[in-house]
Amino acid sequence: MRRAVLPLLMLAWSATAQAQPTQNPPQGEPDAAAEPLAPPPPAVRIDPNAPTTAYDSRVKQSFAAAESFQGPLDGGWTLSAGAEGPLYAIRFVDKAGRVEAAWRDLRRQGALGSSGFVEQVARDGGRLVLRFSPSAGVLDVATLNAAAGGWTGELDENGRKRAVSLAKTSP
């Protein structure tokens, strides 16, 4: 019986193998697993010698539009104390009347806890108050008044008061 079944199985197997479609894609069609074809070249060629005034003008307009949303405090500032020099670098984000800031202690650059967020920025006309904690349990308060080219006032570093100025350092 085994001799009779084996040829039948071989015949059935070869018939199904011949009926199966090939696993290779037909000629002319891309293989899905192959690398994708390169995109066709653009229909419009860019002239490298064309004047760039229109492009430059649009970039300047876009920059001016973005700047129009920024308030006067936006950018980098340095809080200094006379002969002691720079104390803090302060970066303001002043958009649509909402002001936020971050500080970095310039005397302890790279030290753990030498930067953070200003917890409160209060601006009322020509007066600016910044409250931040450079270390646990310490509250620094800078009370500043608008002056020519920046702000001047007083920094209270956990009870130690001194005269300071805030000047713009970068846009």
Residue ranges and CATH numbers for the domains of the chain are 75-170 (2.40.128.120)
Single-letter amino acid, residue 61? Q
- Please choose, from the candidates 78, 83, 129, the residue with its C-alpha nearest in 3D space to the C-alpha of residue 104: 78
C-alpha 113/C-alpha 137 separation (Å) is: 13
45 DSSP β-pair partners: none
Residue 28: per-residue pLDDT: 60
pLDDT at 1: 47
Whether pTM exceeds 0.75:
no
Give the pLDDT band (50/70/90) at residue 161.
very high
The answer to whether residue 68 scores a pLDDT higher than 90 is no
